[in-house]
Amino acid sequence: MYFSFQACKMVLTSERVPQTDAQTLKSKHKKQRQRNRPRNKRNRLEDSHPTHPESSANEAASAMPGKQDAVATEKTRDQIIAEREAKKLAKQAKKLKNAATATADAPAAPTVPTTVSTIPATSATKIITKVEQTTITTKLTTTTTTKKADAAALKPTQPAAVNGKDAEEGERSREQIKAEREAKKAAKKAGKSGGAKVEGVLQQLADLKVSEKVTANAAPSATEANQQMKKPALSKAERRALQEAQRAAKAQGQTKKAQPAGKTPPTAVPKESKRESVSPTKAAVISYPSKCPASTANGDCRVKLFNHLVCAKEDSQFINDPLVHPSIARLGVQYARRTVVGSNARCIAFLHALRQVVHDFETPAKKEFGRSLDAAVKHHVDHLHKCRPLAVSVSNAYKQFKNQLTQLPSDVPETELKELLVHFIDTYIENQIGKAAQAISGFLQEKITDGDVLLTFACSSLIQFICEEAKRRQVAFRVIVVDSRPGCEGQELLRRLHANGIPCTYVLINAVGYVMAEATKVLLGAHALLANGYVMARTGTAQVALVANAHNVPVLVCCETHKFSERFQTDAIVYNELSDPNQLVRGDKCQLSNWAAKGKLLPLNLSYDITPPELVSAVVTEVAILPCTSVPVILRIKPDIGY
């Protein structure tokens, strides 16, 4: 009995992966990738066959959309192969899925996500994996996005179609999460019966993921090779392959008929049959409301004070660029929809996408690798900036990456250069985010003692990490989570802390004066630290610091040095980000509903505010515990610290 429980627990950790498993899983993934690679390579080779020069196809697509069908009608060999493979894999996936659904009634099934987050881990990779969850769960959508981008490229005159598909993407990714969960269930079952064969299960999980990727996209083996910045157009044959794969995957009757290019049937249709209610518990994924309220009349209904700031745009307009790598396109949508939020999560997601870009990059003929990659990455970063203004952490990471690009040796083959860059990205994540979090937590552990009452605002991954660490040290402390509408991110933190068994109190921000008397320390996360010592953080942070100051409670801001910015700013109005004002509207009965029609009523949803240094007792960084005003010092010495 104990044995099987243990096994189950180990399987459950597969997503959160403590140290050792992390390695195995990573290597598994790597193997998987390698296994896939040859096929892709072959396809790529065949794709660049003289009869189908990419450039000409591209031209055909852009110049004369009518012609491209003629070009594409002949079924190339690789497409036939792709078709077959797709079918095969789809069948395999189906089998696996049947097995998975059979175990859907496993007793502990609904609690899977919570259990997952309770397992302690000790390594630096832990916080990373936590934040990475977002990336993992949504990784599967990559190719779907490509296809959409491709489709959009085909018919740029049909924004409406793109909109519709975009709405579908949310559902799709949810389905994939679901599928993943089912995979986990299957894995658990295997773990129970087979007994502790974790590796096998992980293998299965990985297999399932891969096969699912195939079913989801039907003919990715053909398209995947081409996805990098060139090309597009789905040929007729590919479309057919896709549809057949869907049929093979047991689509229920509603599979749509073949539609003209640009309206390729949603690839996730077959999976809709097994949709079930899902509790919105994915860590780090703050679920996005299914209907995206249209932010109407951006130009008219604006607060005069904020005329200079760009209002949040509808995200569908971002995926329309054929030159953007799918992983970046997907990340862009995630940024715009606020699926990936939080400085660290955004940075990690960006670096992962960047790694993908580097990995898939091909140097154009007669160009230098470093420079052409620089240009390509710049384009991608511009795209992300359009989706949502870049976080300071992201632009810092980008700066470091660019710096790395300029220092590349010139006499080394391209593959090694790529290895170098990928290595750089990985170490950046590990050092700047993972180890920094550990160091900060280390500093703070000395400050957290029995009987402490920590007050924190909104949701910071770092604060969560610190609290969990303190809990592990068996310190008797409790946490007051202060939150604010409309984001209510604190609920996420509350959920995570609660899962760790930390006693919590939860209040909204206007009640902060009520609970401040109990607090012994205020711990705040930050979006960035500005060069003049001001702290840029989620709106409301300054208010909490202000009240804490009035109550003489020390305010500690936790911030890794990779979030330090060279900008100077003295108020929250000159530079800020405006989120969707519709979030302030509470339901249909709210007096604010249809504010846009009323004209003079303007909801304003600021993202950040600026806390003046006099309200902050100290900043905890991985270097030391410092006063706010030492930011320029750190900025100056940082290159020497050894990152």
Per rule CB under 8 A, is residue 486 in the interface with other proteins?
yes
Considering only 216, 324, 391, 509, the residue that binds other proteins (CB under 8 A) is 509
**CB within 8 A of 144, min separation 6: which ones?**
169, 172, 216, 217, 267, 268
Beta carbons within 10 angstroms of residue 266's beta carbon? 20
| 529 or 610: CB nearest other proteins | 610
Q: Tell whether residue 278 is a contact of other proteins (CB under 8 A).
A: no
Place of tokens 């390509």: 376
**Residue 481 β-bridge partners:** 456, 506
Nearest to 175 by CA among 65, 307, 275: 275
How many residues make contact with other proteins (CB under 8 A)? 56
Residue nearer to other proteins on the CB measure, 34 or 591: 591
Residue of the chain from 590, 624, 633, 637 that contacts other proteins (CB under 8 A): 590
C-beta of residue 620 within 8 angstroms of C-beta of residue 436: no
Among 552, 600, 636, 640, binds other proteins (CB under 8 A): 600
Q: Does 115 bind other proteins (CB under 8 A)?
A: no
Name which of residues 525 to 584 contact other proteins (CB under 8 A): 538-540, 542-543, 546-547, 550, 571-573, 576, 584
308 binds other proteins (CB under 8 A): no
* Nearer Cβ to other proteins (194/486): 486
The CA distances from residue 96 to 88, 207, 270, in Å, are: 13, 9, 15
Q: Which residues of 600-632 are buried (b: 16+ CB within 10 A; e: fewer)?
A: eeebebbbbbbbbbebbbbbbbbbebbebebbe
Between residues 128 and 548, which has the closer beta carbon with respect to other proteins? 548
Q: Which of residues 166-195 bind other proteins (CB under 8 A)?
A: none
Burial group, residue 232, by CB count within 10 angstroms (0-12, 13-18, 19+): buried
Q: Does 598 participate in binding other proteins (rule CB under 8 A)?
A: yes
Radius of gyration of the chain (CA): 25
User: By C-alpha distance, which of 641, 620, 643, 640 is closest to 630?
Assistant: 620
Q: Which is nearer to other proteins, 333 or 585 (CB)?
A: 585
510 binds other proteins (CB under 8 A): yes
Looking at 36, 58, 62, 114, which residue binds other proteins (CB under 8 A)? 114
Q: Where does this chain touch other proteins (CB under 8 A) — which range of 62-70, 138-146, 286-294, 510-518?
A: 510-518
Q: Quote the CA–CA distance of 381 and 440 in Å, as a whole number.
A: 29
Element housing 493 (H / E): helix 490-499
As measured in angstroms, the least distance from the Cβ of 459 to other proteins is 12
CB of residue 30 vs other proteins: minimum separation in angstroms? 36
Asked if 160 interacts with other proteins (CB under 8 A), we say no
Q: How near is the Cβ of 545 to other proteins at its closest, in Å?
A: 9
CB atoms under 10 Å from CB of 299, counted, come to: 7
Residue 456 in contact with other proteins, rule: CB under 8 A: no
The alpha-helical segments, DSSP class H, found in 267-413 are 326-336, 343-360, 369-387, 392-406
Among 484, 569, 617, 630, binds other proteins (CB under 8 A): 484
- As given in the structure block, the two tokens for residue 108 are 């502990």
Task: For residue 485, state whether it binds other proteins (rule: CB under 8 A).
Answer: yes
Q: Residues interacting with other proteins, by CB under 8 A? A: 114, 303-305, 481, 484-486, 491, 494-495, 497-498, 503-515, 517, 538-540, 542-543, 546-547, 550, 571-573, 576, 584, 586, 590-592, 595, 598-606, 609-610
